[in-house]
């Protein structure tokens, strides 16, 4: 499997912001504090499905380390998935957690399989969600398999937030793919 990254390069980390866009319909998706899994499941025409693309230990990006408040070049658990309506990817998600905090917590991300991490985090009352950050991520910074879902767009809207439980932080980033906007007839499909 590839060595994918989702965070913007460190020189562009200021692009992750907390300020809303001028599009209220888009903000409704980007800043929604509820479970994205639950929201997508309600919109699916087929069965909601998690397609695991990558899971494993790797060096986290500096942007991810900064968001998790851990040392740069730290090793962490990385999980990348598509959140799908049947076989159609709607969202590319990358979740990361620092190795030492994850191992000390006893929280086992390795055994999720095709279950949604978001569903687990929202059902676990000890996790608190931090502030939501958004960006328009250049498609060339996504793994190749996610780039193939970009429908020739150069940038895609993404959001990320950190779920905290004691000393464990799980950074969840979600990239909204054009097929989602198209399938739900959202104005963003014609407004990239």
Provide the annotated binding site.
79, 117, 174
Cross-strand bridge partners of residue 162: 171
Q: Are 161 and 131 in contact (CB under 8 A)?
A: yes
Feature table: binding site for substrate: 79, 117, 174
Please tell me the distance from the alpha carbon of residue 12 to that of residue 119, in angstroms, as a whole number.
30
Please tell me the distance from the alpha carbon of residue 113 to that of residue 128, in angstroms, as a whole number.
23
191 sits in which H/E element: none
In the three-class reduction of DSSP (H, G, I as helix; E, B as strand; rest coil), residue 6 is classed as coil
133-138 vs 155-165, strand pairing mode: antiparallel
């Amino acid at each position: 499997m590839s060595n994918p990254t989702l965070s913007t390069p460190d020189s562009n980390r200021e692009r992750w912001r907390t300020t809303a866009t001028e599009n209220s319909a888009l903000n409704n998706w980007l800043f929604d504090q509820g479970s994205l899994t639950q929201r997508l499941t309600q919109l699916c025409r087929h069965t909601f499905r998690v397609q695991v693309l990558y899971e494993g230990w790797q060096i986290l990006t500096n942007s991810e380390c900064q968001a998790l408040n851990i040392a740069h070049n730290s090793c962490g658990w990385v999980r990348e998935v598509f959140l799908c309506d049947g076989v159609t990817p709607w969202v590319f998600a990358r979740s990361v957690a620092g190795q030492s905090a994850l191992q000390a917590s006893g929280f086992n991300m390795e055994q999720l399989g095709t279950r949604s991490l978001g569903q687990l985090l929202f059902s676990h009352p000890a996790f608190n969600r931090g502030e939501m950050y958004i960006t328009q991520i250049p498609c060339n910074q996504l793994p190749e398999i996610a780039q193939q879902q970009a429908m020739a767009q150069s940038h895609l809207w993404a959001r990320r937030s950190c779920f905290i439980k004691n000393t464990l932080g799980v950074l969840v980033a979600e990239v909204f793919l054009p097929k989602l906007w198209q399938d739900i007839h959202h104005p963003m499909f014609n407004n990239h």
